Structure 1
């Protein structure tokens, strides 16, 4: 089950990274991210989207390490970090649920919920 949860979370993170790349490049998908206030993101939010791609990649590696699909590196930080990531995704459900953008709520709430469940399964394993 750990491998399935890690791979499902990574697939979703890859899709979200693709969305953020599109947003960073000026595609008209801004209504799905960053509060949904802009169809095309302004420069500052485009930079934020680019940074979020790197953050998603780090999250993906963490989840893969927790499932023993990549080496975890030194120290026992993976277990704690996976719980922190679970909380982060759970908070994302709440915060995205409060968005004024219907499109963002419809996209990001389910995405964060799936990520929270996958990370929680990995953290508890």
Structure 2
């Protein structure tokens, strides 16, 4: 149980870092090449910033679903954990197949580690 708690906290820490990246994008950080297919050079336009905001909500829900998997608050049903795994899995694939090489190099490995940790938690 102790190892699982540590993994969940590591996952949540990674998610907080990703949320920080999304917040920076919303605030105008010039990192468009590192996200959303790498189509924007510089700060994201309004539509891209809205997508970043939606990503923050989704990431928060993923973190809460994984905390629930270990019996922590908010104690969501088990299916939410599997939904979180599915979203992370899809995101991992999308980050590896993006046309942006910078995005692949940054997010491919990060999302792969996040997916592996998440799978370890749900299969524990």
TM-score normalised by length of structure 1: 0.87
Structure 1: tracts of 5 or more residues without a match: none
Q: Write the distance in 2 (CA, Å) between the matches of 1:54 and 1:94.
A: 20
Question: Which runs of 4 or more aligned residues in structure 1 lie more than 6 Å from their structure 2 counterparts after TM superposition?
Answer: none
State how far apart, in whole Å, the 1-side matches of 2:86 and 2:60 are.
Answer: 18
Kindly indicate whether the alpha-carbon contact (under 8 Å) linking 1:87 and 1:116 is maintained by their aligned counterparts in 2. Answer: no
**RMSD across aligned C-alpha pairs, in angstroms?**
1.5
TM-score, normalised via structure 2 length: 0.88
Within 5 A, what are the aligned runs for 1:4-23? 4-23=6-25
Number of residue pairs matched by the alignment: 121
Q: What's 2:100 paired with? A: 101
Query: Contact 1:9–1:115 at 8 Å: present in 2 too?
Result: yes
CA–CA separation in structure 1 for the residues paired with 2:89 and 2:98: 15
* More relative contact order, 1 or 2 (CA 8 Å, 6+ apart): 1
**What residue in structure 2 maps to residue 112 of structure 1?**
111
